[in-house]
Amino acid sequence: MTLIAKHFCNCQDLKCKHHPSNHSKGCDPCIAKNLQANEIPACFFRAVSEDLSTLKAYNFGDFARFYLENK
């Protein structure tokens, strides 16, 4: 198993209070916020494509469509 020595977050919203650069809790606050809102974090979308300009929401259905359109 390979351990990641440095945090790998690809989120570009550095002003977000949940961004890992703004606290010492890693991705947990972001994941918790998204799960509570029935959404998927932007990093999952960015793993599919860096261009998120067509997104209207970050829910599960939007992720499925985004994946199918950009895979």
Cα 41 versus chain centre, distance: 3
Is residue 20 helix, strand or coil? helix
Count H helices, E strands: the chain?
Answer: 3, 0
Ordered per-residue pLDDT tens for the chain, 71 residues: 555 556 678 888 899 999 998 999 989 999 999 999 999 999 999 999 999 999 999 999 999 999 999 98
**Predicted TM-score of the model (pTM):** 0.80
Amino acid at 59: N
pLDDT of residue 2: 57
Residue 67 has which token pair? 């994946």
Is residue 42 helix, strand or coil? helix
